[in-house]
Amino acid sequence: MEVKQQALAETSSPMEKMNCGNQEKKKRLTSDQLDSLENSFQKEIKLDPDRKMKLSKELGLQPRQIAVWFQNRRARWKNKQLEHLYDSLKQEFDVISKEKQKLEEEVMKLKTMLREQASRTQQVSTGYTEISGEETVESTSEALRCSKRGTLHHQQQQNNIGEGNCSFTLEDYNTVPVLPYWPGVPYYHP
């Protein structure tokens, strides 16, 4: 019963007073009221009944106004959280995009090198050795393997890939923590 009376009291908002003939206009809260509400919100994002009544008395506002302010404040806070989340995800996306572009360029280079090596191998296996100008072609397959391995190894070292040393994996991505966190305000679990 006591709760019911309180609920009734809370419904008597300024707007309803306006509708009842009382021309009380919608008013902005004063900076002192906002400071107190903000401090309270920073301490605890949820509003328990005791604190609502306490703030109501302290600030000379209806409990309903306190509740509404907290609701709206939580909504604003959540929007900010989403903005922060969007920013951090965008940053991650940009980094991954650049990494992908680099890797694609590397793949192109390596494919070109493989094609060149393959054409040389074909020339050697057919027993055809062409010496044009100053160029000398090695005719042993072992030498070819060595040179190929050396080139690939060099590429792998440059890019830190191969032998399980890939610089970025899906697992890495999945373990990157997003930041559901807004400094100065405790994380809100709905």
Partner DNA sequence: GCGCTAACCTATTCATTAA
Partner DNA sequence: TTAATGAATAGGTTAGCGC
Distance separating alpha carbons of residues 33 and 2, to the nearest angstrom: 27
Distance separating alpha carbons of residues 144 and 122, to the nearest angstrom: 11
Stretch that binds DNA, among 69-77, 99-107, 112-120, 139-147 (CB under 7 A): 69-77
- Indicate which single residue of 9, 16, 115, 118 sits in contact with DNA (rule: CB under 7 A): 16
- Indicate which single residue of 25, 119, 126, 140 sits in contact with DNA (rule: CB under 7 A): 25
88 in contact with DNA (CB under 7 A): no
- Indicate which single residue of 4, 50, 119, 164 sits in contact with DNA (rule: CB under 7 A): 4
- Of 48 and 130, nearer to DNA (C-beta) is 48
53 in contact with DNA (CB under 7 A): no
Q: Which residues bind DNA (CB under 7 A)?
A: 3-4, 6-7, 10, 13-16, 25-29, 34, 46-49, 64-65, 67-72, 74-76, 78, 188, 190
